[in-house]
Homo-oligomer: A and B are copies of this chain.
Amino acid sequence: MLIDIALDAMGSDKSPDPEIRGAILAARTLGVRVHLVGPERTLRPLLARQMRRAGERRLPIKIVQASEAIGMSEKAAQAVRAKRDSSMRVGLKLAREGTVAGFMTAGNTGAAMATAKMVLGALPGVDRPALVALLPTSSGRPSLLLDVGANVDCDAKNLEQFALMGEIYARSVLKIEKPRVGLLSIGEEEGKGNALTRDAFPLLKQLPIQFLGNVEGRDIYNGNADVVVCDGFIGNVALKASEGLARLVRDSLRESLNSTVKAQVGALLSRKAFNDFKKRLDQSEYGGAPLLGVRGVCIIGHGSSNDRAIMNGIRVAAEFARAGVNAHIERELAWLARPSDPPANP
């Protein structure tokens, strides 16, 4: 049976082309029906052309009209209030009504989070929904970092909920059997860290999860932890710093390899190796960041998403919905509120 996923057609930096091609890839291979949300008059001819190019005549893709789009540089709060017929809002409404099982966008992250919280609302028991980043590690399996931007000035209880939600996601969607969960801090001993991590440590220790204790910044990438929990300010800084460093590395490598003819020949010979290398570190393979704790499925991809990243985002939305992540979260948070009554599947 097909699963219905709404896709914001106007999200990415180069929208709607990557979205349309990504929708075609997804509809062809993933067993999903894609609801492409955006201005119908623009999308209709583009979709027809890309279908022809792809050699497809019929695919489960439908267009849903939305007259407005929220730009990357728009301020989230303002845009959400002003643009009542944005593709994000219309797509998320489809999810709220149950027309689709999930929503994916590669648009403005702040606006997507704000719209999702407004349209879908939080799950019962969730104080603050959290945005997850999936990051490459040396184990080959991604690590989850949360929260990466939704919430600053968290308290220990927020981090406790993040740990639980992240663990459930890693288990249900990434199929990691016993996800190892770490608390992002400085220094590994229990007493190390700041006031927040010292408060959160005993709470995380009591959860029915495999808790590693404190982990350090490097553990985000070395495969030691599957889920790394932190305040949204820290998570966002760590993520953006990593993006900045990755860009510097890429540019420096490119510049060095262009510096002499010999180096250029060398680069040419190793082209496949470079592509493997890029793919290994490429977040677009993971297909976007889930927003955990809202009453519905919302996946937020990078603005630079290409068709493959869009397809992977749709795949993640479908897997999120199929795995019943939100029912798990609700059940375990209810248990957290009443610890005398343990959940059925701890």
Binding site for B on A (CB under 8 A): 136-138, 149, 152-153, 184-186, 193-195, 216-222, 230-234, 236-249, 251-253, 256-257, 259-260, 262-263, 265-274, 276-277, 280-281
Contact = CB atoms under 8 A, between A and B. Distances in A.
Contacts of A272: 260, 262-263
A221 to B, nearest CB: 4
A234 B232 CA distance: 11
A276 B256 contact: yes
Contacts of A273: 256-257, 259-260, 263, 266-267
Given A217-B238, A252-B281, A257-B273, A244 B263 contact: no
Contacts of A241: 217-218, 220-221, 238, 241-242
A341 to B, nearest CB: 35
A276 B274 CA distance: 17
| Residue of A152, A220, A272, A273 with most chain B CB atoms under a 10 A cut-off | A273
Nearest to A269: B266
Nearest to A223: B248
Contacts of A253: 277
Contacts of A239: 217
A238 B238 contact: yes
Contacts of A185: 233, 237
A79 B259 CA distance: 48
A137 B248 contact: yes
Given A186-B233, A263-B269, A267-B266, A244 B256 contact: no
Contact of A234 (B234, B252, B260, B281): B234
Contacts of A221: 241, 244-245, 247-248
Given A153-B194, A186-B152, A276-B256, A222 B238 contact: no
Contacts of A269: 262-263, 265-266, 269
Nearest to A258: B273
A85 to B, nearest CB: 26
B240 A193 contact: no
B233 A217 contact: no
Contacts of A242: 217, 241-242, 245
